Amino acid sequence: AVVVMVGMVPGTASAGPIKLTYANFPPAPTFPCVQMERWKKEVEKRTNGKVLVQTFPGGTLLGAKNMMDGIIAGQADIGCLCMAYQPGRFMITNATSLPLGIPNSLVGSLVLWDIYKKYQPKAFSKVKVLTMFTTAPSNIMSKIPIRTLEDIKGVNLRASGGAAQILKAWGANPVGMPMPSTPEALEKGVVKGLFSSLEVMKDFKFAELCKYVTMTDAVVYPFAVVMNLSRWNSLPRDVQQIFDELGTQQAAWTGVYMDNHVRKSMSWSKRKQGVKVIRLSKAEKARWNKLLEPIVNNWIASAESKGVPGKALVRDIKAFMRMYEGK
């Protein structure tokens, strides 16, 4: 009889697996979804199947704009969001998307995670943050060679969000449009190129249309993976521990994956599509960078006026970045 009683106690080994839903907004082959599938696999392995994660890519459960509020409301247990879509809401973590010269996704992801942990922004007080990561840096892909500021003047280039003000500072004409509409816009000559991270050269086959890449390494975009707080609190302590130890590892895994993906995309572009890479001379790069200083200074002033320590944030990002670069 005792044995029967033990079997009926809730929470014992006989209870079924913990099932979690994970929402994402971009299509399945994109890097935010690749990292999601990697995390799912690792969680299921480390918990020995105690936790099962059901993934929903492509906005099938929650879209980009309502991801955070959807998770808070419990429409999904876990969600991945791009903080650049709501710059006012995520001011502290969005500081990593300022043009500060973050060299790659690995450095960007680790710096972002450190900034989150140090500043514990209020914007995340209603969720459990599982990890954060960034895109690779944005560079110019174009149908015409761009070697100087004079070459970029008045050129129509596709850009989104904060990238638009960077292009404007350089004298280009930023054009907003979704990434899937960009190939047609390039073919029709509506835009002469785009400003984004370079994995799209292969993923969207932009290398077939844009034969020049100008390296600016201007800016990265931050993402966060968040979990519904009451769902998090309902997890057993050992599962919470596994999720916590995965935080930094997942940020680093995504950074390395992203950087490798960019490298593969660019080697394919050069080898198969004859794409030429233009690197700005030191003097020319200094001219480009000087034009971006007001963007950073204005952001700092605006942040400080809202009670956000903008100056300290920028100083920390630069210091953390130097450490991860081995400088």
Residues 32-74: pLDDT tens digits? 999 999 999 999 999 999 999 999 999 999 998 899 999 999 9
> Is there a single domain that holds both residue 175 and residue 292?
yes
Whether 163 maps to a domain, the answer reads yes
Count of all residues that appear for the chain in the document:
327
- The number of beta carbons lying within 10 Å of the beta carbon of residue 68 is 22
CB 179 within 8 A of CB 142: no
> Is there a single domain that holds both residue 101 and residue 243?
yes
DSSP 124-174: GTTEEEEEEEE-PPEEEEESS---SHHHHTT-EEE--TTHHHHHHHHT-EE
> Is there a single domain that holds both residue 28 and residue 98?
yes
Whether 90 maps to a domain, the answer reads yes
CA dist., res. 122 & res. 306, Å (int): 13
| Pick from 25, 27, 31, 121: nearest CA to 78 | 25
Residue 308 pLDDT > 50? yes
Give residue 319's Cα distance to chain centre. Answer: 20
CA dist., res. 248 & res. 254, Å (int): 10
pTM assigned to the model? 0.90
Whether 94 maps to a domain, the answer reads yes
The whole-number pLDDT of residue 4 equals 44
The whole-number pLDDT of residue 15 equals 73
CA dist., res. 137 & res. 258, Å (int): 10
Long-range contacts of 280-284 (CB under 8 A, 24+ apart): 280/147, 280/214, 280/215, 280/216, 284/147, 284/148, 284/149
Q: What is the pLDDT of residues 166-186, one digit of tens each?
A: 999 999 999 998 887 899 999
CATH number at 188 reads 3.40.190.170
Average pLDDT over every residue of 210-225:
96
> Is there a single domain that holds both residue 185 and residue 302?
yes
